[in-house]
Amino acid sequence: MAARAGLAGLVIDLGPLREGRGFRIVFAVRLISLFGGGFRLVALPLQVYAMTGSSVLVASVAVVNGLAGFGGTLVGGVLADRLDRRRLTVFSLAVETVVVALFAVNTYLPGGPELWVVYLCAAVNGVIGTMGLIAQQTLVPALVGPGRLAAAGALLALTAQFGAVTAPALGGALVSLGGVGAGYLITCGITAVAAAAAWFLPPVATAPGAERVPAPRAMAEGLAFVARHPVVRPLLLLGFVQVLFTMPAVLIPEFTDRVLGADAAVAGLLYTAPAAGALLASLSSGWTGRVRRGGAVVPAAVALGGAFVAAVGLGRTAAVALVALALLGCCQAVEEILRYALIQSHTPDALRGRVNSAWLAQATVGGSLGATLMGALAAALGTAAALAVAGGAGALAAAAIALTAPGLRRAGEGAPALPDTTPDC
């Protein structure tokens, strides 16, 4: 009986889904949005390459979308702290529906699709999609209450991992069966359903007077809060360390070819291993809601992730790489769940939009810098050595942040209580 109870305590906590209609809607909207994003991740490169035959132009569309997404983090954080977050979520999904419809119309133009329309839609979608994501994240604490933040974070992480594993495959199947245009039309209908569902979210009031603060000052206030807070600052630094040093995906093709001497099938397994590990960690994340000092666990998880990246380079075998990458995914899921809960619980509601936008911005910028760093290290040292050096640097950086952030190490015990803004849902 005790063993059964212990195992039950490991299973992901579904309490936020059972207890709140509002969170169920956010959860469903996130899944639908991730499916739409996964389809576009497959469809856009295929369409642009078919139009132009140029990988450079394919990459340029991704750059436009990424830069627009970064702009969306700057605008979205301020808007999420000024406006009704439910309406902002509905608005973003409605605009995404129109954008996907334009993608579809462009596909069926008599003279063939126009590249400028693809760029325009990619830019609008990058800005609006990011704004909607920030609005959804900032809604969650008020929908679930402070006691369920870790459980909610685990469920949100689960949607991201499920989307990462299934959405591109489903998108590829749609393109294969019905073509890009039909896939856009189906995605448009699904996104419209998500927008309609979001309309039934309960409204969450914003802080009084927030709309009267000029936007530049509002952004400066958010950055100042992040810079001086003894818990939020090191948490965001740890996130930056993770995406800078412990995201080895960019080196997997070269590692598979030059170090392992293997084929594309092995590379596919290596790409899948972190997502599989993260999915397993999320499904067994029930314990995260009972951690008393989550602030000490987060840097440990980031440091372990760095150690597993180093193990991939040092092991130089497919078996070691698969196990190490799966364990890396586990560490990333654990730190994401606890970091989400800690950041939300230590951030006043009036600043939550801007702090969440800083979180997304550091992930976006850090991811691009991390890919560049990994490529430079591989060119200078070789692929295996680059993984070992980057992973070791990530572990050391995480340890240094933990040692110099006593507020973070104590975070979790006696965390500040959030105002009771939970709506009746």
Domain with CATH 1.20.1250.20 in the chain: 17-200, 218-410
Instruction: Say if residues 282 and 7 touch (Cβ distance below 8 Å).
Output: no
- The dihedral through the CA atoms of 341, 274, 365, 101 has a sign that is negative
Q: Which two tokens stand for residue 417?
A: 């209580």
Q: Which residues have C-beta within 8 Å of that of residue 328, sequence separation ≥ 6?
A: 246, 248, 273, 274, 277, 305, 308, 309, 312
The region, left, alpha or beta by phi > 0 then psi within -120 to 50, assigned to residue 209 is left
Answer whether CATH 1.20.1250.20 is correct for domain 17-200: yes
Superfamily of segment(s) 218-410: MFS general substrate transporter like domains (1.20.1250.20)
Residue range 334-361, pLDDT digits in tens: 998 899 889 988 888 888 888 888 888 8
Q: What is the pLDDT of residues 193-203, one digit of tens each?
A: 889 988 988 87
Spell out, as residue ranges, where the chain has pLDDT lower than 70: 1-10, 38, 41, 55, 164-165, 167-169, 205-213, 412-425
Give the model's pLDDT for residue 205.
Answer: 64
Residue 392 CA, distance from chain mean position: 24
How many Å apart are CA 219 and CA 85, to the nearest integer?
18
